Amino acid sequence: MSPSSPSTPSPGPLSLEQQICYAMHTTVRAFDAVYRELLAEHGLSYPQYIALMGIAEHGPLTVSRLGELMRLDSGTLSPLLKRMEAAGLVGRTRDPEDERRVLVSATSTGHERIAALRELPQQIAARSGLSREQMLALHETLRTVTDRLDAHS
């Protein structure tokens, strides 16, 4: 009987290389390295780049709203935003409407930094070697997976 037969769903312990978590882990490491390289000269880390993009695009927003966007909590965002504030990229002010909230917005320096990175997505796309169709397919698959994983919890 073939090991891929439908009647043998678990043909022994799955090898590491066959597991999706391993593939994801490996790909993320590779992406990380490339972003690190391309962002270094702009003084941004990969999470900072995503945060700055989100802040610049979605206007002044609260820490928890940014947290929903990035799937990160205040334990991660608070120190990250303080570092970005110290770097002059974002401003943080208490919301006068509700002093519990902190509104984060991009400074002009922050906007300039994002503008200077206008070409980054294309650079990454080029390095990834995926066609536009493959890129869209991957994007769609990632969105589907994320939604499904979320649905369970």
Question: Residue 106: what are its φ and ψ, rounded to 5°?
Answer: -80, 135
Tokens of 100: 């519990």
Nearer to DNA, 6 or 75 (CB): 75
Dump the DSSP string for 97-134: TEEEEEEEEE-HHHHHHHHHTTTHHHHHHHHHT--HHH
User: Terminus-to-terminus CA distance in the chain, angstroms?
Assistant: 37
Residue in 14, 16, 32, 137 binding DNA, rule: CB under 7 A: 32
What is the dihedral angle through the alpha carbons of 111, 102, 93, 112, rounded to the nearest 10 degrees?
-10
Give the whole-angstrom CA distance, residue 60 versus residue 105: 4
> 36 touches which of DNA, a second copy, none (CB within 5 to 8 A by kind)?
DNA
* Phi-psi category of residue 14: left, alpha or beta, with phi > 0 → left and psi -120 to 50 → alpha: beta
**Which of these segments, 3-11, 64-72, 111-119, 129-137, binds DNA (CB under 7 A)?**
64-72
> 74 touches which of DNA, a second copy, none (CB within 5 to 8 A by kind)?
DNA
> 85 touches which of a second copy, DNA, none (CB within 5 to 8 A by kind)?
none
Q: Does 71 interact with DNA (rule: CB under 7 A)? A: yes
**Least distance to DNA from the beta carbon of 20, Å?**
16
Residue with tokens 């770097």: 87
Interface residues toward a second copy, by CB under 8 A: 9-10, 13-16, 18-31, 33-35, 37, 46-47, 49-50, 53-54, 57-58, 69-72, 114-115, 118-119, 121-122, 124-125, 127-130, 134-135, 137-139, 141-153
Q: Which residues sit at the interface with DNA, rule CB under 7 A?
A: 25, 29, 32-33, 36, 45, 47-48, 62-65, 67, 71-83, 92, 98-102
